[in-house]
Structure 1
Amino acid sequence: MINSVQNVSNLSMTRALGAVDTENSVSSSATTMPGTAGAASGLSFASVMGSMATDTVNSLKSAESMSFAGIKGTATTREVVDSMLQAEQALQTAIAIRDKVVTAFLEVTRMQM
């Protein structure tokens, strides 16, 4: 199901970000603010957004595999629920960021030159 999303370049809104390898990346357990991570290390906006998208995809894949493990009986109900809640929060964050980008784009297009 989630394996159909192989990289961020498949998404129509993020073609300028380039390909992000979701198979070899490892999501970190530390949480940082997106603005501070890019400002402190000199990363570009595109690379920060790409890494956030990669982390979201990895979270969704992890939740999917954990749900299958729950069905097989190898994972506890709590582990499955925690994984699903984490994936839901990551997806809601990605949707909120997308909505803000679309709103900003619409505001720019309404500006008078």
Structure 2
Amino acid sequence: MIDQLLSVSTRNALSNLAQTVTQGAASPAAATGQASFGNVLSQLAGSVSNKLEGAEAVSMKSMTGDVPTRDVVNAVMDAEQSLQTAIAIRDKIVQAYLEISRMPI
């Protein structure tokens, strides 16, 4: 039950991050066709969310015996690795923001 709540809260946090990033101001990079920082973060959040949902779906299928245990473990480990990567990137972004905010003007 706790795992289900954590996965729902993680999924909600990732979707909120994606919405916040995509609602930002338009950048010159978007006008020239280059990938903007916001778009990259949005794609990252969407990718992690999809992996988490896929791992959850595979684990549900394993309860009925449709999926072997090995596939479940692979899907969950892949989703966990993606989530850890997203958390590390988030931490670096927050750290960079804090450093910039402490700079004297």
The question of a shared fold, defined as TM-score above 0.5 by the shorter chain, is answered with yes
Deviation string, structure 1 residues 15-62 (Cα, Å, up to 9, x no partner): 1323xxxxxxxxxxxxxxxxxxxxxx7211111111111000000000
Contact 1:9/1:16 (CA < 8 Å) preserved in 2?
no
Q: How high is the sequence identity, in percent, across the aligned residues?
A: 41
1:46 aligns with 2:38: yes
The ranges of structure 1 where at least 4 consecutive aligned residues each deviate by more than 2 angstroms after the TM superposition are 1-11
Partners of 2:87 and 2:12 in 1: CA distance = 18
Instruction: Output the amino acid matched with 2:22.
Output: L
Given candidates 68, 77, 88, the residue that maps to 1:76 is 68
More helix by share: 2
Given candidates 80, 85, 98, the residue that maps to 1:106 is 98
Contact 2:58/2:75 (CA < 8 Å) preserved in 1?
yes
Q: CA deviation at 1:3?
A: 6.2
TM-score, normalised to structure 2, is: 0.74
TM-aligned CA distance change 1:56 to 1:77, over 3 Å: same
Gaps of 5+ in 1: 19-40
1:93 aligns with 2:79: no
Partners of 2:104 and 2:19 in 1: CA distance = 26
Question: What number of residue pairs does the alignment pair up?
Answer: 90
Q: Which has the larger radius of gyration?
A: 2
Gaps of 5+ in 2: 24-32
Contact 2:62/2:69 (CA < 8 Å) preserved in 1?
yes
Once superposed, what is the RMSD of the aligned Cα atoms? Answer: 2.4
SS at match of 2:66: coil
TM-score, normalised to structure 1, is: 0.69
SS at match of 1:73: coil
